[in-house]
Amino acid sequence: MIPRYSRPDMVAIWAPETKFRIWFEIEAHACDAQAALGVIPKQNAEAVWKADGVTFDVARIDEIEAVTKHDVIAFLTHLAEIVGNEEARFVHQGMTSSDVLDTTFNIQLVRAADILIADLEGLLVALKRRALEHKDTVRIGRSHGIHAEPTTMGLTFARFYAEMDRNLARMKTARQEVATGAISGAVGTFANIDPSVEEHVCTKLGLTPEPISTQVIPRDRHAAFFATLGVIASSIENVATEIRHMQRTEVLEAEEFFSAGQKGSSAMPHKRNPVLTENLTGLARLVRSMALPAMENVALWHERDISHSSVERNIGPDATVTLDFALARLTTVIDKLVVYPEHMLRNMNQYKGLVMSQRVLLALTQKGVSREDAYTLVQRNAMKVWEEGRDFQTELSGDPDVTAVLSQDEIAEKFDHGYHTKHVDTIFARVFGTA
């Protein structure tokens, strides 16, 4: 995570101020629950909320931590400075640091998930808009980078929509995976604190109590979370790769937007580089790679070891901030993508009509021509297109062996794009619901 590839809202989730605020809420709600149980005095629980409006002094907490070498104790000391030592004396009673840390980490991930969900929803809006806009913009479909049959630009946007819609569902599932909290003590037995405290804190903070924790919330949840980010990142790479291909000089079916004042563009009009989608390709590699240490974090020793912590201190912010930035950037790219329908037609007709050779072959055989003969007929006309740059339809129309079997209308019909686009509405209805 570096500022260059960050957006402030996601960064804020990982700021110390946010963390301390969440710590405070956990502690304060826990006090309420303890007071309700009669474990601590009600007035002490109430007193803690005096710090409710306060922004905690990160520098002061760091100062205390430098002495105590313990972050949670440093925070509690600072909290006592605000609330009053006497009033604060029951704060954190019966809890362990991990109760606070793990619950906080999950709250941060849930909030990060909320942003990512909103990001995906924004991306879907953009994709849908462009899909509808270019529903009938014919372009050549390519397998292996080689022209195959016509499709439409709308279908390209629509398939990215469908893919990102699946990612939205996955992201919601991932959010649910980590939306748990634990206030269960040193080894998860609730020896020193009643389970109702956990329930109260979780309810207040929008979490579900972790059914069984040890000192920590089990890390298979986080592995599933970060693996999901990796899948979404891979989809971003998928879209980015398509655009990079479309923008290459010889294809030029689309371009990333250029801000008006970007210098140099008109002296070298060909030199507009798809740097945003290339950048997204790299960011995808980064996010994807973080799934692995998250998976390695699952096998902690016994009731917990702290090996997961250094990993999460990095990939927690890194993966979410990077993915948020990437989704937002991709949304802008899609929103503003400059599409060149005329170049799509030009490319499709590069080998004039040749992409229809298979349709013609089929038509001939359906008229009773043997497979070998049909093949010969197609081949001899196709080679004129390929080698001499002639037009396939014209050649066929002038080949008496072809016209003996197929009428001019029948030949022309084989070159009608409507044949290829007749089910676009069906597919759109599948993807976007009935239009």
What Cα–Cα distance (Å) separates residue 230 from each residue in 55, 78, 161, 237? 35, 38, 18, 11
Q: Figure out which of the listed residues 43, 55, 85, 143 binds a copy of itself, where binding follows CB under 8 A.
A: 143
162: left (phi over 0), alpha (psi -120 to 50) or beta: alpha
Query: Cα angle vertex 416, ends 415, 421, to 5°?
Result: 130
Q: How many residues bind a copy of itself (CB under 8 A)?
A: 140
Burial (CB count within 10 angstroms: exposed 0-12, middle 13-18, buried 19+), residue 206: exposed
The residues in 414-433 that bind a copy of itself, with binding defined as CB under 8 A, are 419-424, 426-427, 430-431
Short-list 47, 223, 23, CA closest to 103: 23
Q: Which residues contact 172 (CB under 8 A, 6 or more apart)?
A: 113, 117
CA–CA gap between residue 382 and residue 363 (Å, rounded): 15
Q: Figure out which of the listed residues 91, 357, 402, 411 binds a copy of itself, where binding follows CB under 8 A.
A: 357
CA–CA gap between residue 240 and residue 272 (Å, rounded): 16
Short-list 428, 357, 429, 432, CA closest to 153: 428
By the rule CB under 8 A, 138 interacts with a copy of itself: no
**Is 78 a catalytic site residue?**
no
By the rule CB under 8 A, 92 interacts with a copy of itself: no
Q: Greatest CA separation found in the chain?
A: 104
By the rule CB under 8 A, 279 interacts with a copy of itself: yes
Site string for a copy of itself, 205-224 (x = CB under 8 A): ----x-xxxxx--xxxx-xx
Short-list 431, 422, 414, CA closest to 132: 431
By the rule CB under 8 A, 389 interacts with a copy of itself: no
Smallest distance from a copy of itself to CB 29, Å: 20
Site string for a copy of itself, 324-353 (x = CB under 8 A): -----------------------x--xx--
Short-list 233, 324, 333, CA closest to 273: 333
Q: Which is nearer to a copy of itself, 103 or 213 (CB)?
A: 213
Short-list 127, 142, 151, CA closest to 424: 151
By the rule CB under 8 A, 43 interacts with a copy of itself: no
Smallest distance from a copy of itself to CB 410, Å: 16
Q: Which is nearer to a copy of itself, 21 or 222 (CB)?
A: 222
Smallest distance from a copy of itself to CB 53, Å: 29
Site string for a copy of itself, 242-261 (x = CB under 8 A): x-xx-xxxxx----------
CA–CA gap between residue 314 and residue 222 (Å, rounded): 13
By the rule CB under 8 A, 275 interacts with a copy of itself: yes
Q: Figure out which of the listed residues 195, 206, 389, 398 binds a copy of itself, where binding follows CB under 8 A.
A: 195
Smallest distance from a copy of itself to CB 276, Å: 10
**Is 147 a catalytic site residue?**
no
Active-site choice (144, 266, 270, 302): 144
Catalytically active residues are: 144, 265
